[in-house]
């Protein structure tokens, strides 16, 4: 029965009827007006949901995971390997427009460059002067093949490349060169780079030698599209 506004229970004769019932046995729940008025997650606005997620333990753990993953990815790109996209046919048939390749950036610090290696590099000043300093192309990285290193005497004649007087076998080129070049000697600290598509490439036979310090890294393999995966012709 109800007496004085309290709740009472008759417990099999052992209770005299004056013992109130505890509405929160054990004190495990906190009853307050705030809980009654609090919105459910689905009733919150988008920004309120974002704030709620960031404040939750799950959100904090996810942010930590994403931050670590992003930091590792940026470190890998900065120091070890990075992706590159082929925008032109200057290196055809080794690369086609749309090919995506991996460029490793470690070995340039520990071993010298060799002939026939494909490298990605920042364009030299002479290239920028040709295309115009304000041109977007003057700031874009380029990809070509090293055909001669410092100390080499290089010449292009009769459509063929000669290094130190020896005709080079170049199965990776699209066609014979239709220009004459050299003979010249590659200066110390420089390399000479040409495109595999010899007659359709703005390369070293036009703008000269490339400082080795401009090299970003060596191209190691194509990873996209799937039917082009591999490193054929890169070494």
Angle made by CA atoms 105, 96, 132, in degrees to the nearest 5: 70
Name which of 207, 172, 200, 48 is nearest 161 in CA terms. 172
Task: Give the pair of three-digit tokens for residue 51.
Answer: 């704030």
Angle made by CA atoms 61, 67, 72, in degrees to the nearest 5: 130
Rounded alpha-carbon distances, angstroms, from residue 172 to 28, 41, 65: 76, 61, 44
**DSSP calls for 45-94:** -HHHHHHHHHHSHHHHHHHHHHHHHHHHHHHHHHHTEEEEE--SSTTTTT
Report the DSSP beta bridge partners of residue 161. Answer: 156
Residue 45 a catalytic site member: no
CB 205 within 8 A of CB 127: no
Residue 15 CA to residue 35 CA, distance in Å, equals 34
Catalytic residue among 90, 134, 135, 201: 90
Give SS3 for 37: helix
Residues designated as active site: 90
């Amino acid at each position: 029965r109800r007496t004085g506004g309290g709740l009472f229970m008759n417990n099999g004769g052992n209770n005299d009827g004056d013992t109130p019932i505890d509405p929160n046995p054990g004190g495990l729940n906190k009853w307050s007006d705030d809980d009654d008025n609090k919105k459910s997650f689905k009733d919150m606005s988008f920004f309120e949901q974002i704030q709620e997620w960031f404040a939750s333990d799950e959100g904090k753990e996810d942010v930590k995971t994403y931050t670590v993953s992003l930091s590792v990815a940026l470190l890998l790109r900065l120091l070890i390997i990075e992706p590159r996209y082929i925008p032109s046919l200057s290196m055809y048939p080794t690369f086609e427009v749309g090919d995506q390749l991996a460029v490793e950036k470690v070995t340039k610090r520990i071993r010298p460059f060799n002939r026939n290696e494909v490298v990605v590099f920042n364009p030299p000043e002479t290239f920028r002067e040709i295309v115009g300093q304000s041109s977007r192309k003057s700031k874009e990285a380029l990809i070509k093949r090293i055909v001669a290193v410092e100390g080499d005497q290089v010449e292009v004649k009769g459509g063929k490349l000669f290094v130190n007087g020896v005709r080079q076998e170049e199965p990776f080129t699209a066609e014979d060169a239709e220009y004459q070049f050299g003979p010249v000697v590659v200066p110390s600290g420089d390399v000479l780079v040409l495109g595999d598509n010899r007659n359709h490439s703005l390369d070293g036979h036009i703008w000269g030698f490339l400082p080795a310090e401009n090299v970003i890294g060596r191209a190691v393999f194509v990873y996209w599209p799937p039917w082009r995966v591999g490193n054929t012709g890169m070494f």
